[in-house]
Structures are given as structure tokens and as C-alpha cells.
């Protein structure tokens, strides 16, 4: 009797939450199709219809910019896995990006490894860095863990400067490392397709992980670690898994980036505070704890400053630098201000705002429609450090 009603309720419920294929999946698939079709539209001009104003030409330059943005999107997804899902806010994710990139570049330049070999080594070392930082840091919670992630890259950066003979110091490694599979500026479409394929693959992997049981445990850890332990799950195991997975993917993004025609192994590109900050901005703008949102945010953050560069005709002297710190100084400032504004208006991130806007427009009433990633706007963000405060003030529960 009782079993019938219980399972009956469940089925009824799942029927209701899947009325056909949700619009957001269709939109996502369309987005990927557009990305895949871009190289075919080479030399087309997209604009506002007014000649000379905000015209975007899809040329090799643009494809390379987009490639870099895709790797940054990958990096943002890796941040989201650990910070958005398990709530361990990482302030120094650039460390993994840099470890992956420098390892691969050094192996390639110093020892003649082909990028196809050196990149996996970079990924492994980034994962090892994840273990080195993550395992001891597991004893720490909330702001203390974030402090370690804030400090770790600074320590590593100091070591890099200390041993400039190996790491090239402020100027970076010169000449730059080889291109992946030898695809240079001339084969921009290939460079782009490699990035797109990897981007889709990583997104699929992360979606799978975060939508599996492990993902549910991640978000539960974000809510209440003790409650997770009290149902027989080892929070440390899941946290370290998220941390190392995230580190490895961050390393992969860094290593791949460094072997694009655009990438160089300088620490301002790989390591600067800007990289650490931008990845947070990207994931938060897109929506923490969604993966897809982080990916969109990453592409946005990676691309917009460049577009600002290229579209604003008055600013001469285009120098492609990853992360928006280009010679046209003002773009990152504008970008930061736009971000502040968006954060102020859409605190839950762009993705959630769009989904919720769409749902409202179509008259859906259920509040937990974004339930696949377990969070309503704002609340993910609110809670993570809501927990911090309790820990800082001494948990009066115990």
C-alpha cells in the first residue's frame, strides 16, 4: 500500500519536471552548433547594420580569440566544480592553470617533448599540485581554506621569480612553446576545432560528474559537511576528488592554451592576480554551481575584452594578451564595471536569470525547475559563506 503511494508520488513528480525537452537544452545545443559553424562563416561581417560601427568580422583573428576564450571557459568550469559545487572557494585557481602551462611549455622547450606528450604531463602535475594543496587544506574550512588557496599561488609566484633562470622571470619563456599538433595562425580553424572539441568533452565530463551521485554529495557538502558525514559519506574523499579533478582540468586548460598560437608562457598571462580574479568573475557571472553557466561566463570573460579591443577603432596598437590586460588599458576597467553592474542586477548569474526569465515568461510555476544543479538564484552564494560565519564565530551547535 504505502509503497505504491510513495513511488506513485515520485513518478508523478518526475513526469511533471520533464515536460518534453526543456528549452534550455535546445538553446544549449543551438549555441554549440553556432560555435561549430563559426569557421565556415569565415570573413562574414556581423554588425548592427550601420557600416563601420561595431562590425565583427569572423576571421582568423576572431577564431583565435575565441579559442583562447574556450580554454578560459574550460578553466572557469573547473573552478565551478570545486567552488560552486562543494563550496570550497578557491582564490588561487590560476595556480593550476600555471602549473599545467609551465610544465608543458618547459618540457616542450627544454626537453623537446611534443606538446601531445607534454600536455598530459602538465595535467598530471596540476593534479599533483591539487593534492599537495588540497589534502592538507582539507582540515581547514571556509575562509581558512580560501586563505590557503589565496596564498599558495603567491608563494609559487615568489619561487618563480626567485628562480627566474628556469622560469624566465617577468619576461616569460622565449621563444614560446610549439603549437599543438603544429597548427599555427594559418590553420586557425583547426586550432579552434581542437579547442571546441575539448571544451565540449570537458563540459560533458563535468556535467556527468555533477549530475551523478557525487554531484549531489558535492552540493550537500556545500550545505553542511557534518550532515554529510552523519549519513555515512566521507566528505574529505569527495572534497579531494572535486579539488583534484578541478586542478587537473585547470591544468589541461592552461597547458592547451600555452600551445595555441596566442599563448605564451609568461606569468602575467598565466599567473597574475587578474587570472585568479577573472575565473571567479566568469563563474559568478554565469552562475555558480551550474557548470554551463561557468562555461558561458568563461567565454564571455575571455572574449569581451578582446572584442572591446578590436571593435573600438580609436584604440590603436593591438597586442593580444590573455586576460584582458592589453595595452588599451581601459578595456579591463570597463569590463570590471560591467561585471559590477551585472552582479548588482543579476546576483544569481546570467544563466539562472535567463532560465528563470524564460520560465516566468512561459508561466511555469514550480520554483525548483533549475533543480538539476541544486540551487535557486542567490541562495547558493548566500549559503556558502553563511556557513563560514558560523564556523568563524564558533559553532554554537556543538
Partner 1 sequence: MSSEPEQGTTAGPDATDATPQTESYGPDDGILVANNLRKEFGGLVAVEDFSFAVEEQEILGFIGPNGAGKSTTFNCVTGFYEPTGGTVWYQGEEVTGKPSYEMVNAGLARTFQHFRPLHDRSVVDNVALALVEDSLFSFSGLRGGTKERAAQLCERVGLADDLHRLPDELPHAGLLRLELARALATDPTLLLVDEPFAGLAGSEVERISTLIRELREEGLTLVVVDHNMRGLLSLIDRAVVINFGSKLAEGTPEEIRNNEEVQRAYLGGDL
Partner 2 sequence: MVDPTVSLQAAPSTVLVQILILSSLYALVALGFTLIFGVGGVLNLAHGANITIGAFVAYVVGVQQGLGGFAGLAAAFVVTGILSGVYYLGLIKRIQDEPIMVMIITLVTAVAVEEAIRFVYGSQPKVLGLLSGRINLAGSTVTYTQLFAFALSALLIGALFVFVNYSRHGKALMATSMSHKGAALVGIEADRINLVVWVAAGALAGVAGVFLATRQGASWAMGRTPLVLSFSIVVLGGIGSIRGSVLGAFVVGTLEVLTVQYVDSSLTGLTPLLVLVVVLLLRPEGLFGRELVEA
Asked if residue 179 lies in contact with residue 115, where contact means CB atoms within 8 angstroms, the answer is yes
Give the other-Cβ count within 10 Å of 161's Cβ: 12
In the bound complex, what is the minimum distance in angstroms from residue 280's beta carbon to partner 2? Answer: 6
Asked if residue 242 lies in contact with residue 89, where contact means CB atoms within 8 angstroms, the answer is no
93 binding partner (options partner 1, partner 2, none; Cβ < 5 to 8 Å by kind) = none
Nearer to partner 1, 111 or 365 (CB): 365
Give the angle 379-344-347 at the CA atoms, nearest 5°.
20
Nearer to partner 2, 12 or 329 (CB): 329
Nearer to partner 2, 77 or 384 (CB): 384
Asked if residue 294 lies in contact with residue 304, where contact means CB atoms within 8 angstroms, the answer is no
**What letter would DSSP give residue 141?**
-
Among 124, 200, 343, 353, binds partner 2 (CB under 8 A): 343
For partner 1, the binding residues (CB under 8 A) are 2-3, 5-7, 9-10, 13-14, 211-214, 216-217, 219-220, 222-224, 226-235, 237-238, 241, 368, 371, 374-376, 379-380, 383, 397-398
231 binding partner (options partner 2, partner 1, none; Cβ < 5 to 8 Å by kind) = partner 1
Nearer to partner 1, 43 or 398 (CB): 398
Residue ranges in 316-335 that form contacts with partner 2 under rule CB under 8 A: 329-330, 332-333
Give the three-class secondary structure for 70: helix
Distances (CA, A) of 60 to 40, 41, 67, 318, 320: 11, 11, 10, 15, 13
Asked if residue 280 lies in contact with residue 70, where contact means CB atoms within 8 angstroms, the answer is no
Among 284, 301, 303, 351, binds partner 2 (CB under 8 A): 284
Nearer to partner 1, 95 or 217 (CB): 217
In the bound complex, what is the minimum distance in angstroms from residue 216's beta carbon to partner 1? Answer: 6
| Torsion, Cα of 305, 311, 314, 317 (10° steps) | 60
Per-residue contact string for residues 107-146; x = within reach of partner 2 by CB under 8 A: -----------------------------x--xxx-xx--
Which part of the chain contacts partner 2 (CB under 8 A), choosing from 184-192, 245-253, 361-369, 384-392? 384-392
Nearer to partner 1, 162 or 201 (CB): 201
In the bound complex, what is the minimum distance in angstroms from residue 219's beta carbon to partner 1? Answer: 6
**What letter would DSSP give residue 81?**
I
220 backbone φψ class: left, alpha, beta (φ>0; ψ -120 to 50): alpha
Nearer to partner 2, 185 or 307 (CB): 307
Cis status, amide bond into 269, omega within 30 of 0: no
| Residue 392 touching partner 2 (CB under 8 A) | yes
Residue ranges in 140-169 that form contacts with partner 2 under rule CB under 8 A: 140-141, 143-144, 147-148, 150-152, 154-155, 158, 161-162
Cell numbers linked to 203: 563540459
216 binding partner (options partner 1, partner 2, none; Cβ < 5 to 8 Å by kind) = partner 1
Distances (CA, A) of 192 to 1, 38, 66, 182, 395: 58, 10, 7, 13, 50
Q: What CA–CA distance (Å, rounded) separates 265 from 158? A: 16
Question: Phi, psi (5° rounding) for residue 79?
Answer: -65, -40
Cell numbers linked to 391: 564556523
Per-residue contact string for residues 13-52; x = within reach of partner 2 by CB under 8 A: ----------------------------------------
Amino acid at each position: 500500500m504505502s509503497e505504491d503511494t510513495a513511488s506513485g508520488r515520485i513518478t508523478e513528480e518526475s513526469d511533471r519536471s520533464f515536460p518534453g525537452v526543456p528549452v534550455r537544452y535546445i538553446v544549449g545545443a543551438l549555441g554549440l552548433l553556432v560555435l561549430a559553424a563559426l569557421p565556415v562563416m569565415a570573413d562574414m561581417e556581423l554588425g548592427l547594420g550601420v557600416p563601420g560601427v561595431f562590425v565583427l568580422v569572423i576571421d582568423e583573428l576572431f577564431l583565435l580569440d575565441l579559442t583562447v576564450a574556450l580554454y578560459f571557459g574550460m578553466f572557469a568550469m573547473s573552478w565551478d566544480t570545486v567552488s560552486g559545487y562543494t563550496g570550497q572557494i578557491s582564490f588561487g585557481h590560476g595556480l593550476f592553470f600555471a602549473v599545467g602551462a609551465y610544465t608543458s611549455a618547459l618540457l616542450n622547450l627544454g626537453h623537446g617533448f611534443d606538446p601531445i606528450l607534454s600536455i598530459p604531463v602538465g595535467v598530471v602535475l596540476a593534479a599533483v599540485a591539487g593534492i599537495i594543496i588540497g589534502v592538507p587544506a582539507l582540515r581547514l574550512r571556509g575562509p581558512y581554506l580560501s586563505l590557503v588557496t589565496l596564498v599558495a599561488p603567491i608563494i609559487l609566484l615568489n619561487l618563480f621569480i626567485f628562480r627566474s633562470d628556469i622560469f624566465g622571470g617577468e619576461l616569460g619563456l622565449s621563444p614560446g612553446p610549439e603549437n599543438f599538433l603544429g597548427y599555427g595562425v594559418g590553420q586557425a580553424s583547426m586550432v579552434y576545432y581542437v579547442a571546441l572539441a575539448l571544451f565540449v568533452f570537458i563540459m560533458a565530463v563535468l556535467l556527468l560528474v555533477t549530475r551523478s551521485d557525487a554531484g549531489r554529495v558535492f552540493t550537500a557538502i556545500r550545505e553542511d559537511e557534518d550532515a554529510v558525514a552523519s549519513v555515512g559519506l566521507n566528505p574529505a574523499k569527495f572534497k579531494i576528488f572535486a579539488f583534484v579533478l578541478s586542478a587537473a582540468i585547470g591544468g589541461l586548460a592552461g597547458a592547451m592554451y600555452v600551445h595555441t598560437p596566442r599563448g605564451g608562457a609568461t606569468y602575467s598571462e598565466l599567473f597574475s592576480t587578474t587570472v585568479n580574479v577573472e575565473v571567479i568573475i566568469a563563474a559568478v557571472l554565469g552562475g555558480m554551481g551550474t557548470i554551463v553557466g561557468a562555461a558561458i561566463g568563461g567565454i564571455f570573460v575571455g572574449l569581451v575584452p578582446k572584442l572591446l579591443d578590436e571593435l573600438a577603432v580609436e584604440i590603436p596598437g593591438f597586442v593580444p594578451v590573455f586576460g584582458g590586460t592589453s595595452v588599451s588599458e581601459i578595456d579591463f576597467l570597463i569590463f570590471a564595471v560591467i561585471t559590477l553592474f551585472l552582479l548588482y542586477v543579476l546576483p544569481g548569474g546570467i544563466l539562472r536569470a535567463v532560465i528563470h526569465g524564460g520560465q516566468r515568461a512561459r508561466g511555469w510555476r514550480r520554483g525548483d525547475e533549475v533543480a538539476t544543479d541544486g540551487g535557486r538564484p542567490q541562495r547558493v552564494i548566500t549559503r556558502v559563506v553563511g556557513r563560514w560565519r558560523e564556523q568563524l564565530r564558533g559553532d554554537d551547535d556543538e
